[in-house]
Amino acid sequence: MGDVVIKGYEAKAGEHAFYRMPVSKLASGLQLELPLHILNGKESGPTLMLTALSHGDATTGFEVIRNVMEQVDLEKLSGTIIAVPLQNPLAFEWDWRNTPQDCYNMNRTYPGNSRGWVTEQMSSVISPLCDYADALIDWHGGGYGDAINYILSKMDPSVDQTDELTEKINHMARVYGLEHMYGGKPAGPDAAYAGTLSDYMIIKGKPSIVAEVGTGITVLHDRFVNGSVQGVFNVMKDMGMYPGEPVIPKTQWIVKTRSVDRPKNGGMFYPMIGPEYINKTVPKGTLIAVIRDPMTMEVIEEMYAPYKETVFLDMRVTMTKVHPGDYAYILADLSDAERIDNE
C-alpha cells in the first residue's frame, strides 16, 4: 500500500502518523486542537474510523482506541485506521458531558459549523474525516459510578437509509461481538437526537455503530475494555483489514423493548443491584434502587424492574447524588428480544 492523505494529513505505508488539527483560538489565547491518528497498513484495504470522548465524562472509548493502536500490527494491517480519541478536549478537561463554554452536546451538532459555537467548530473539523472512511465506530458511555455495555445501531429512525445499508449496519453491530444490541427508536423525540456523528456517517451511505461501552467501576474496567478491543479487531477482520476470524458470543440478543429509567426525585441514590448484574436479568418487580431524602434520610422513592426479563444495559452501581430526572438505568426486556445463536 502506498501513502495515504486524509484531509491533507499524510501517512506513509506502515506508519502511525499523529497530527494536531487546529480548531480556533480560545479566549485565553491558547490554541484549541484535536488529535488525529492515522495508522496506515502495509497493504491496501478499507478505512475504519474510530472516535471517542465527544462527551467529556465518557472515557472508556479513549482507552479502547489507545489499546487498539498499541496492539495493531501495521505489517498485518490491510487498509487504514483513522482515530480521533478525544473529540471534545474542553468537556474532557472539566469532566462534563457537554462543552462548558457553550453548554452544547457535541453529539447533537454534527456536521458542525466552522463559524458557529465552539462545539460546532470542533465538529466541523472532525466531520470531513467521514469522507475518507468506509465505516465508523463511535464510543459513548457513562462516567463515575456507571456501567454500560451494549451496541446501538440505526440510532435515529429519521435518517433515510437503504435496506442494504441497514443490513451492513446490523451486520457490523453483530460482528462487534457484544451480547446485546438495540436498533429501535431513541428514548425521546427523534429531533432531540439529531446531529450525531453516527447519523452523519449513515447519511453519507456508510455503516456506523455506536459502542455504548463505559464504566467508572474498576471491577468492570478490564472486561469492558478488552471486550471492545476485541470488537474493533472483529470488525477489522470482517472488513478484510486484519487476518483471522471474528470472535463472537454463542448467543446474542437484539432487544426490541428498551427504556431509560430515571428517578422522579433527587437525593441520595442507593442501588439494590450491584455491578455484577450488568447484561444480566432480574424478574419484573425486583427492587433495583431507592432514593433517600438527604435531610431526613427517609426513603422517598423506590425503583423496580419493569419487564418480565429485565436486562441491565446501563446501570448506576454506586451510592451517588441524583438530580430529578437523572440517568439511572437503561433497561430492556429480554423476553421479547430476538435471539441469535452463533455456531
The pLDDT score that the predictor gives to residue 85 is 98
27: left (phi over 0), alpha (psi -120 to 50) or beta: alpha
Closest CA to 249 of 189, 140, 176: 176
Bridge partners, 329 (sequence order): 261, 315
Handedness of CA 58, 170, 208, 250 (dihedral sign): positive
The confidence band for 2, taking pLDDT boundaries of 50, 70 and 90, is: confident
Residue 162 has pLDDT above 90, yes or no: no
The confidence band for 159, taking pLDDT boundaries of 50, 70 and 90, is: low
**Cα 278 to Cα 19, 104, 145, 219, distances in angstroms:** 37, 30, 13, 12
Ranges for all domains in the chain classified under CATH 3.40.630.10: 4-249
Per residue in 72-82, pLDDT (tens digit) is 999 999 999 99
The pLDDT score that the predictor gives to residue 48 is 98
Ranges for all domains in the chain classified under CATH 2.40.50.100: 255-341
CB 109 within 8 A of CB 195: yes
Greater model confidence, 343 or 118: 118
- Give percent above pLDDT 90 in the chain: 89
The pLDDT score that the predictor gives to residue 136 is 98
Q: Under CATH, which number does the domain 4-249 receive?
A: 3.40.630.10
Parallel, antiparallel, or unpaired for β 146-153 and 78-84?
unpaired
- What does the pLDDT average to over 54-64? 96
The confidence band for 161, taking pLDDT boundaries of 50, 70 and 90, is: low
Residue 20 has pLDDT above 80, yes or no: yes
Please give the full DSSP string across 94-147, using - where no structure is assigned.
HT-SS-TTT---GGGSTT--TTS-HHHHHHHHHGGGGGG-SEEEEEE---TTEE
Closest CA to 81 of 71, 92, 91, 89: 71
The confidence band for 1, taking pLDDT boundaries of 50, 70 and 90, is: low
Give CA–CA dist 292/300, Å, rounded.
5
Per residue in 179-193, pLDDT (tens digit) is 999 998 888 888 888
Residue 168 has pLDDT above 80, yes or no: yes
CATH of 255-341, one of 2.40.50.100, 3.30.565.10, 2.40.50.140, 3.40.50.2300: 2.40.50.100
**Cα 218 to Cα 10, 122, 146, 275, distances in angstroms:** 38, 31, 11, 10
Per residue in 262-310, pLDDT (tens digit) is 999 999 999 999 999 999 999 999 999 999 999 999 999 999 999 999 9
CB 301 within 8 A of CB 291: yes
